[in-house]
Every structure is written in C-alpha cells, then in structure tokens.
C-alpha cells in the first residue's frame, strides 16, 4: 500500500516537471507582446496594473493612471504575472523591485519613470495596546533616531548597501513590558527570514524600540491583508513591516511619524530576457530554495506545525463529533436544536472566515496562540463532518438489529456499542478518510492568523528567492506525502472495523485452533 502511494507521488512529481518544461518552452517561443517603454502607455483602457491590497501604490495608481485596471496581487505573485505577460505592469516600492531583479528575477525590468507621488512609510499603532502612551513613546523614539542620524544609517546599511548583518542590541532579561510587533517576513531588506530567524530594517527597528522601552519583544508574522486587523484587534502592539500610510488605513488605526519616504516604481515585462539553460536554472533554484541559509529547516518547521494542527484537529474533531452525536441520537430536542444551529453556522461559512472570526473577534481581546485557534476552528468543521457521517452510518443499520439485540437482553448502550456502531463504521470510513484529506489541505489557510505552517513557509522562501518553482513543487509533494502518511494509519484503523479486510490470523487471534485430544 505504501509503495503504491510512493509511486503515485513520484508520478505526480514527474508530471509536474514535464509540465514545467513544456511551460518554459511555450513561453520561450510565444510571440512577444507590445513592449512597454513609458508610463503613458499604461494609462490606457485594458491595461492591467498589479498592486497590493490596500497599499499606497494602489491609491497612487488610481490617481495617476485612472484609465488602467487595477489587479490585486502581492509582490512575488505580481512579479511572476508580469514576467508571464498576465499583467502589463506591477506598481510597488521601487527599491524592492530593483532588489528582486538584482537577486535573479528574470523576465522583468523597471521603467525609468516612477510615480509622481511618494509613499510615506511609518509604524502602525494598535489602539488596544496595553502599553501606556505607546503612540507618544513611539513618536519620541523615531524623532530621536532621526535627530541622531540612526534612521539614515540604518536605511543606508540595509537598503542601499544591502548589508544583512543584524547588530547586537541588548534587551533586559526580566522586562516588565512585553512588546508584540506585527511584521510580514516577506519583504527584504525590511522584514524577511535569513535562515530560520527574522532579519531586516524593521526587525532592527523593533529591537531598538524594545530596548528604548526596556521591554522584551515578540514578533508575529502576517500577510499584509491580515496585519491591519491584527493591530486593530490588539493582537499586536504595533506594526513594523515597511507599512505604507494610506487614508483608509489611517482611519482604522493611528500611525507614527514617517520613518522615511519611498518612490513607487513600475515593473514591466522584459521581452528580450530569456531564462537560459533550463536545467542550470533548476539546479540554481534547488540550491537557493533548500540549501542556502539552511532553508530546508523552514520547511521542516512548517511540516511540524501542519502535522500538529492536523493530528490534534482529527482527534478533537472526532471526539467532539462523536459526543455530539451521542447527545442527539436518542432525539433530545434541546441537543438536536442546538446542534442543528451550530452545524448551520459552521458549515455555512468558508473555513478561512471562521478562522478569522475566531481569531480577530471571538478571541480579539485575548492573547491566544494561533495554533490553538486553528485547532479550534478545524475541530468545529471536522467535528461537524464526523457528526454527519455517524448519523448517516448509523441510519444505514437495519432497525431489526435493535429489535434482535433487545430480544437478547442487551441494554440500549450495549446494543449501540456492541451491535450498531461496529456495523455503521465500515459504511463511513471511506468518507472519513476523505474528510481527513480535505482537512490536511484546508490547513494551508492558517497563515492568515500568523501561524507559520507549510504553505506559509513556502511563501517565506519564495519571498527570499524570488522563484516559485521549487517552493511550490516542494509544498505540493509534501502535502501528498502527509496525506499518504496519515492515510496509512487510518487504513490500519479501518481494518479493525471491517472484518472483510482482516487476515485469517487476525480474525482467529485468541482462539485455540489446535486439535484437542
């Protein structure tokens, strides 16, 4: 059974590899689209310009290129879409995009022109922070660093010189203040992973601010779409993530004084750029994805987090679904009405919405681990599935089984556990395994609440390497392996419930089959 699953995984990987080769070949020989050489060409109906959701670049493009259509994409996805000709341009921090090109991002270039309006970069401040007078303290801190030249020195070191060395900043050992900083981990040189540790301009700034407060510091990593809600709900005290100030963001939470200003550039497709030898590129991509800076450790951490969430959710979801079914099976009207309402609520919304409601609203004022909230959300959804399966399986058992058991003197509970349940489980085990596979894949959304699972780690590596092939292929293959791994143990459990799948030795275990003299 295991060898069969491994063969399927190998076949999948080979199929994806062949598909990638074909894609590269088709892209190489496809006709070039019109070359974009000026900003004016982009201000035409039908032009598609990518921008981050809610970013300052989006606001500026709407003002300066009103005839273009805005498509919402984050950095790496936007770069790839431009290189493939799916977007005419991508608008973002000019230095960020130049760094991507210098780091090996192929098929794109920057227009000489930038957007006229600059963006203001500042720190977001949670209105629910428990640190007294945080806004004034943060502004005093930034003014101090500006006055003594520290901000300029940091910007020159991280952004201009691309020096990735994090200075040693002493923090108090037994601090009375705990500073929680929200960041992205996806934007070099401001906030990114160097090996397993966060690094960058904003990370140094956070350490300096913690030292200024006499506090220790904790980092929580979010996508940009979730980082503002995290601060609004009080999950973090402040945001340091190369965060652009926009009127809409400023209406949700206060910002510090500007840390610096930045130009918005326009990345367009470079039709003359070719990827070079495919297999050389493949080897280079593999080295950057897994070997350099021990990035394979990030995948290991992501796998462990995904496994913890999955296994705990399976166990707690199964127990929850079973207990709820036991409370409802005899027709208790209160239990059935409450259960029906909860099922309607849980099954009626996407899991990602349920996850974010739990994290940002239900536990919005409570400091709670994202893994715990993830397990809770998936316990509810998986438990709802288990309840439905048990209801279906038990309903498939003929009523005559109850009558026969009662005639033999069995009690109600003994009838259920000894007669009904063993006959019901074989009916539902295939669907139960399907629920587990769906659960494993659904865990990919937990990055929305700052949980660094396998998918999130892949995003972090992609942000560092500016390449999509190996991070995405690795994630796909690992998910298949996890499904095979967990599926194997569920299959062994299935044998215990299905007599037809047991071998002769297992069926006769404990029975003396030797001839008696």
User: What SS3 string covers 112-161?
Assistant: EEECCCCEEEEEEECCCCCCCCHHHHHHHHHHHHHHCCHHHHHHHHHHHC
Q: Give pLDDT tens digits for 443-457.
A: 999 988 888 898 988
378/355 Cα distance (integer angstroms): 8
Among the ranges given (59-68, 406-415, 466-475, 490-499), the one the predictor scored with the smallest mean pLDDT: 490-499
421/419 Cα distance (integer angstroms): 6
Query: Long-range contacts for 409-413 (Cβ within 8 Å, ≥24 apart)?
Result: none
Q: Give pLDDT tens digits for 138-182.
A: 999 999 999 999 999 999 999 999 899 999 999 988 899 999 999
For residue 369, the model assigns a pLDDT of 86
- Is the pLDDT at 85 greater than 70, yes or no? yes
3 state DSSP class of 510: coil
- Is the pLDDT at 58 greater than 50, yes or no? yes
**69 is written with which tokens?**
């259509």
Q: Give pLDDT tens digits for 284-321.
A: 778 888 888 888 888 999 999 999 999 999 999 999 99
CA count, 13 A, side-chain hemisphere, 403: 3
For residue 27, the model assigns a pLDDT of 45
Of 426, 376, 370, 420, give the one whose Cα is nearest residue 400.
420
Q: Give pLDDT tens digits for 180-233.
A: 999 999 888 999 998 889 999 999 999 999 999 999 999 999 888 788 988 998
CA count, 13 A, side-chain hemisphere, 445: 17
Q: Give pLDDT tens digits for 102-133.
A: 887 888 999 999 999 999 999 999 999 999 99
Percent of the chain with pLDDT over 90: 47
For residue 509, the model assigns a pLDDT of 56
Of 322, 254, 292, give the one whose Cα is nearest residue 104.
292
Q: Where do we find the tokens 């039709």?
A: 271
**CB 16, CB 473: distance < 8 Å:** yes
Which backbone phi and psi does 409 adopt, to 5 degrees? Answer: 90, 10
C-alpha angle 358-362-363 in degrees, rounded to nearest 5: 85
pTM: 0.78
């Amino acid at each position: 059974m295991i060898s069969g699953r491994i063969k399927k995984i190998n076949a999948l990987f080979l199929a994806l590899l062949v598909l990638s080769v074909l894609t590269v070949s088709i892209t190489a020989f496809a006709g070039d689209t019109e070359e974009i050489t000026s900003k004016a060409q982009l201000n035409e109906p039908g032009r598609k310009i990518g921008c981050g959701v809610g970013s300052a670049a989006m606001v500026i493009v709407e003002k300066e290129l009103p005839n273009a259509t805005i498509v919402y994409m984050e950095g790496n996805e936007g770069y790839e879409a431009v290189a493939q000709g799916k977007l005419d341009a991508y608008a973002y921090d000019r230095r960020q995009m130049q760094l991507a090109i210098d780091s090996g991002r192929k098929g794109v270039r920057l227009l000489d022109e930038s957007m006229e309006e600059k963006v203001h970069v500042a720190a977001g401040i949670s209105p629910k922070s428990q640190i007294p007078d945080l806004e004034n303290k943060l502004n005093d801190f930034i003014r101090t660093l500006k006055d003594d030249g520290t901000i300029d020195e940091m910007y020159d070191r991280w952004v201009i010189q691309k020096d990735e060395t994090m200075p040693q900043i002493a923090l108090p050992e037994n601090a009375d203040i705990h500073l929680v900083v929200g960041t992205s981990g996806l934007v070099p040189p401001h906030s990114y992973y160097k090996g397993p540790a966060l690094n960058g301009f904003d990370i140094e700034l956070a350490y300096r601010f913690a030292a200024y407060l006499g506090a220790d510091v904790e980092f929580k990593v979010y996508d940009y779409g979730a980082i503002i809600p995290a601060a609004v709900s009080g999950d973090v005290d402040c945001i340091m993530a190369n965060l652009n100030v926009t009127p809409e963001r400023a209406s949700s939470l206060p910002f510090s004084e500007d840390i610096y200003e930045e130009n918005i550039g326009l990345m367009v497709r470079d039709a003359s750029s070719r990827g070079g030898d495919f297999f050389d590129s493949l080897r280079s991509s593999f080295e950057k994805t897994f070997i350099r800076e021990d990035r394979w450790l990030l995948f290991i951490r992501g796998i462990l987090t995904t496994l913890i969430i999955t296994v705990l959710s399976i166990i707690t979801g199964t127990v929850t679904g079973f207990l709820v079914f036991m409370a409802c099976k005899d027709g208790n009207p209160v239990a059935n009405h409450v259960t029906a309402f909860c099922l309607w609520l849980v099954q009626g919304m996407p899991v990602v919405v349920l996850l974010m409601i739990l994290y940002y609203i239900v536990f919005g004022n409570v400091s709670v681990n994202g893994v715990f909230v993830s397990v809770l959300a998936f316990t509810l959804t998986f438990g709802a599935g288990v309840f439905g399966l048990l209801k279906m399986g038990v309903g498939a058992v003929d009523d005559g089984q109850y009558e026969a058991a009662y005639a033999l003197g069995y009690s109600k509970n003994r009838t259920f556990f000894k007669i009904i349940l063993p006959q019901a489980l074989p009916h539902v085990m295939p669907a139960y395994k399907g629920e587990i596979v769906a659960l494993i894949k659904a865990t990919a959304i937990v990055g929305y609440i700052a949980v660094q699972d396998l998918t999130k780690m892949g995003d972090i590596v992609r942000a560092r390497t500016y390449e999509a092939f190996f991070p995405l292929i690795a994630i796909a293959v690992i998910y298949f392996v996890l499904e095979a791994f967990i599926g194997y143990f569920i299959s062994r459990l299935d044998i215990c419930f299905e007599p037809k799948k047991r071998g002769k030795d297992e069926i006769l275990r404990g029975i003396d089959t030797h001839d008696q003299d």
